[in-house]
């Protein structure tokens, strides 16, 4: 990553194929597969960028929040590399990284996904030999989000509205009381018998569905907060009702009774309700914060086409950068450095599986 906006290389190893088999993430398996992938990914990122360690100014790593084992593997690798190559090390909050994906130019083209621990997917280098030509970047920064701004963070683990008065300052003004919206997509997909991860499979099934077929309630949550567990239960009850089955009927069996059209209609109706809820809360937030100049959307669910269409004025990352990736971590670190944040001590810094972005 160069100057926080320009991708030199972005190598992404996806574990989707592994977890599709289980229908969800198994933390121990995730950590082990991180471990196997780690050094091949680092080496490929350097070679894709045509860089050596001498060209690298700093290392950035995610220290929070997330799965303990995966955070440990990442931070221990980064700490070791920082010591070995004598580079400053920056510890970045995961949600901050998602937000900063909105400042990255263009985005990387993800070529393929596989369960293999080898680095199977890679971003394209923007320059043929970027490490030799740092001055030749000609970036148009005029279309960058301006402050103060609202960030709608929608991932598998979080749903939050953040107020950002300036770079690297975050105030949580809305958050979910229970499930995250991505988690809700994943759980509803399971009920409908759609493959993991649920977000993309719901979006695909919804293309052939009627979004007005099933009326699903909006949860009654005060202010700018969210609740998505009720929406998942509402889908469950609506499916049982549609099939004429009692509420005691096991949710894992419902998929065996649904027709393809019913699945599409439920997917479309659910997606529309989830998007409507997000848009409603962002509109409320804009009314409460009239000084806001732009809205950025961040996290895995920001790939959702219906959400993009519902918020035409908002900034979205390139779809190749909406899910987890290394470039966004480097981008966030760049803006931290610009804001005066100091590097951490590679000999002693901790991971925090549950810490807030405000800390």
| 8 A C-beta contact, residue 93 and residue 357 | yes
Partner in contact with 77, chosen from ligand KG4, Zn ion, none, beta carbon below 5 to 8 Å by kind: none
Question: Radius of gyration of the chain from Cα atoms?
Answer: 21
E strand spans, the chain: 11-12, 59-64, 89-93, 121-122, 149-154, 159-164, 171-175, 294-298
Q: How many CB atoms lie within 10 A of CB 114?
A: 15
Site string for ligand KG4, 191-220 (x = CB under 6 A): ------xxxx--x-----------------
Q: Based on CB atoms, which residue is closest to ligand KG4, 102 or 155?
A: 155
| 8 A C-beta contact, residue 194 and residue 184 | no
Q: Based on CB atoms, which residue is closest to ligand KG4, 258 or 298?
A: 298
Of the candidates 205, 329, 215, the residue with the CA atom closest to the CA atom of residue 262 = 205
Residue 188 binds to ligand KG4 (criterion: CB under 6 A): no
| Phi, psi for residue 263 in degrees, rounded to 5 | -60, -45
Partner in contact with 186, chosen from Zn ion, ligand KG4, none, beta carbon below 5 to 8 Å by kind: ligand KG4
Q: Which residue has the tokens 């894709």?
A: 48
| Phi, psi for residue 257 in degrees, rounded to 5 | -105, -10
Q: Which residue has the tokens 């807030």?
A: 356
Residue 332 binds to ligand KG4 (criterion: CB under 6 A): no
Residue 155 binds to Zn ion (criterion: CB under 5 A): yes
Of 186, 230, 239, 330, the one binding ligand KG4 by CB under 6 A: 186
Partner in contact with 130, chosen from ligand KG4, Zn ion, none, beta carbon below 5 to 8 Å by kind: none
CA distances from 134 to 55, 85, 126, 333 (A): 10, 21, 11, 18
CB of 302 to Zn ion, least distance (A): 10
Residues in the interface with Zn ion (CB under 5 A) total 2
Residue 107 binds to ligand KG4 (criterion: CB under 6 A): no
CB of 324 to Zn ion, least distance (A): 4
Residue 323 binds to ligand KG4 (criterion: CB under 6 A): yes
Q: Based on CB atoms, which residue is closest to ligand KG4, 173 or 321?
A: 321
- Binding span for Zn ion by CB under 5 A among 106-114, 148-156, 222-230, 301-309: 148-156
| 8 A C-beta contact, residue 176 and residue 193 | no
For Zn ion, the binding residues in 262-301 under the rule CB under 5 A are none
Q: How many CB atoms lie within 10 A of CB 153?
A: 28
| 8 A C-beta contact, residue 193 and residue 253 | no
CB of 160 to ligand KG4, least distance (A): 12
- Binding span for ligand KG4 by CB under 6 A among 27-35, 48-56, 177-185, 240-248: 177-185
Q: Which residue has the tokens 């995966």?
A: 70
Residue 179 binds to ligand KG4 (criterion: CB under 6 A): no
For Zn ion, the binding residues in 298-327 under the rule CB under 5 A are 324
Of the candidates 91, 22, 21, 96, the residue with the CA atom closest to the CA atom of residue 59 = 91
CB of 319 to ligand KG4, least distance (A): 8
Pairing state of beta strands 294-298 and 89-93? unpaired
CB of 66 to ligand KG4, least distance (A): 7
CB of 161 to Zn ion, least distance (A): 17
H or E element: which one contains 237? Answer: helix 229-242
For ligand KG4, the binding residues in 296-315 under the rule CB under 6 A are 299-301, 303-304
Q: Which residues bind ligand KG4 (CB under 6 A)?
A: 98, 155-157, 182-183, 185-186, 197-200, 203, 299-301, 303-304, 323-324
């Amino acid at each position: 990553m160069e100057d926080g906006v320009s991708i030199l290389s972005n190598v992404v190893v996806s574990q989707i194929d592994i977890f599709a088999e289980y229908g969800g993430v198994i933390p121990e398996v995730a950590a082990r597969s991180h471990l196997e992938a780690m050094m091949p990914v680092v080496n490929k990122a350097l070679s894709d960028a045509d860089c050596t360690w001498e060209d690298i100014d700093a290392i950035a790593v995610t220290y929070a929040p997330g799965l303990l084992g995966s955070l440990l593997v990442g931070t221990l690798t980064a700490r070791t590399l920082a010591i070995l190559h004598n580079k400053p090390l920056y510890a970045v909050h995961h949600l901050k990284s998602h937000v900063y994906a909105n400042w990255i130019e263009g985005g990387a083209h993800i070529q393929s996904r596989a369960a293999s621990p080898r680095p199977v997917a890679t971003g394209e280098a923007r320059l043929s030999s970027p490490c030799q030509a740092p001055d030749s970047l000609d970036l148009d920064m005029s279309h960058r989000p301006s402050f103060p701004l609202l960030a709608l963070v929608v991932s598998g683990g979080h749903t939050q509205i953040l107020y950002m008065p300036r770079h690297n300052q975050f105030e949580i003004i809305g958050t979910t009381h229970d499930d995250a919206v991505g988690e809700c997509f994943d759980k509803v997909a399971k009920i409908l018998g759609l493959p993991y991860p649920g977000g993309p499979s719901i979006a695909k099934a919804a293309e052939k569905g009627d979004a007005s077929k099933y009326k699903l309630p909006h949860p009654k949550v005060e202010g700018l907060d969210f609740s998505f567990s009720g929406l998942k239960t509402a889908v469950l009850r609506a499916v049982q009702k549609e099939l004429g089955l009692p509420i005691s009927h096991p949710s894992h069996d419902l998929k065996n009774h649904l027709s393809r059209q019913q699945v599409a209609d439920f997917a479309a109706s659910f997606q529309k309700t989830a998007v409507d809820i997000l848009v409603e809360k962002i509109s409320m937030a804009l009314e409460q914060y009239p000084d806001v100049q732009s809205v950025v959307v961040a996290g895995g669910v920001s790939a959702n086409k219906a959400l993009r269409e519902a918020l035409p004025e908002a900034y979205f990352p390139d779809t190749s950068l909406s899910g987890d990736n290394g470039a966004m971590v480097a981008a966030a670190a760049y803006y931290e450095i610009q804001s005066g944040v100091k590097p951490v001590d590679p000999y002693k810094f901790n991971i925090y599986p549950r810490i807030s972005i405000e800390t």
